[in-house]
Homo-oligomer: A and B are copies of this chain.
């Protein structure tokens, strides 16, 4: 069976994380990604650790299966070349600071004249419009500004960031969704669109009940450590050796839990009768829970409660994922054979589609300009002489 995006070609100006994460998802589903990199230095994230034999494992994990063309965008000849390539592709993706593509002469308005079917996706910190549009952005800035840091952390503790770059990553995902929706639309309308995604906008969109809580009650949501704001018991509790998360999502599970732990006495207590009661008395409840969970290890609780249908889990460190049977069964850690490095384990494709045995490209991440010749010959019919000329002029 064909890969769903096998017929789609992407001219990819993106660097670092938000944009490359977007084109990685597209690559995983079969799209051809033509990654444009600065000759010599390439994508900034090639310099981000950790390194394996001098290559960035970080870069590899997000850029496997893409093709790289080295191109000095400061040269007018390179810009002409980009415009030729734009005729051949479906999508342009970029995550420069707003205004950069226009300054280079390859903004959306310019490119859609060349290819009206083009979908032009831009991912930036604050979007193409609004008063902060031109501000520099990093993931943590956006996490701080967008509210998620204000609801993440220990109760009454210092602010903490989400341990992964959720600002970049959700922008990359929303960018992907916009691109695909525009492709679906193009099959009807025959025309392309511009997709304008901002990291900050994405943060608002994932705030979930924090926004409705504030809207409905005027209460400013705060960090709650590892407990649920409106369900109890639904929290991480200390065990004999570490922690276990237990999630009694309804009264039936609470009743079952009390019976399984021989604590029918708690069932009889008015303070814990209904879920609203338990949430109201969550501190007192925690004292009992801590007493109960301290009696066994996390592994013991995990086995006992799961066997009996109470949702629970250990808090896995990252190493544990490498031996988890479910992660293995779902092929969520796969190996890339990276020339000069050997095997690198990276995250698999979370979008499982029927009819595809292996959805992820096992191809390595490219070296800077590894496919310059191939792309110029395949798409633009360049000759060896023309290519030699471009090389001599340090354009590719």
Contacts and interface: CB of A to CB of B under 8 A. Distances in A.
A152 B163 contact: yes
Contacts of A151: 163-164, 318
B204 A350 contact: yes
A197 B210 CA distance: 25
Nearest to A201: B350
B223 A352 contact: no
A206 to B, nearest CB: 5
A217 B163 contact: no
B347 A205 contact: yes
Interface stretch (A324-332, A373-381, A385-393): A324-332
A211 B154 contact: no
A103 B15 CA distance: 47
B194 A353 contact: yes
Contacts of A267: none
A65 interface: no
B212 A317 contact: no
Q: How many chain copies does the complex carry?
A: 2
Interface residues of A, number: 144
B4 A353 contact: no
A150 B242 CA distance: 12
Contacts of A226: 140, 149, 158-161
Interface string A127-148: 1111111011110111011111
A369 interface: no
A254 interface: no
A164 B148 contact: yes
A361 interface: no
A195 interface: yes
A234 B181 contact: no
Interface stretch (A33-41, A53-61, A77-85, A284-292): A53-61
Contacts of A368: none
A173 interface: yes
Interface centre among A170, A189, A200, A206 (most CB of B within 10 A): A206
Interface string A192-223: 01111110111011111111111111001111
Interface centre among A2, A29, A147 (most CB of B within 10 A): A147
A48 interface: yes
A256 to B, nearest CB: 12
Interface of A: 2, 4-5, 7-8, 17, 25, 29, 48-52, 57-58, 60-61, 108, 126-133, 135-138, 140-142, 144-154, 157-166, 169-170, 173-174, 176-178, 180-185, 187-189, 193-198, 200-202, 204-217, 220-228, 230, 234-236, 243, 245, 247, 249, 306, 309, 311-322, 324-327, 329-330, 332-333, 344-355
6 contacts: A138-B234, A152-B152, A158-B226, A181-B351, A201-B332, A214-B322
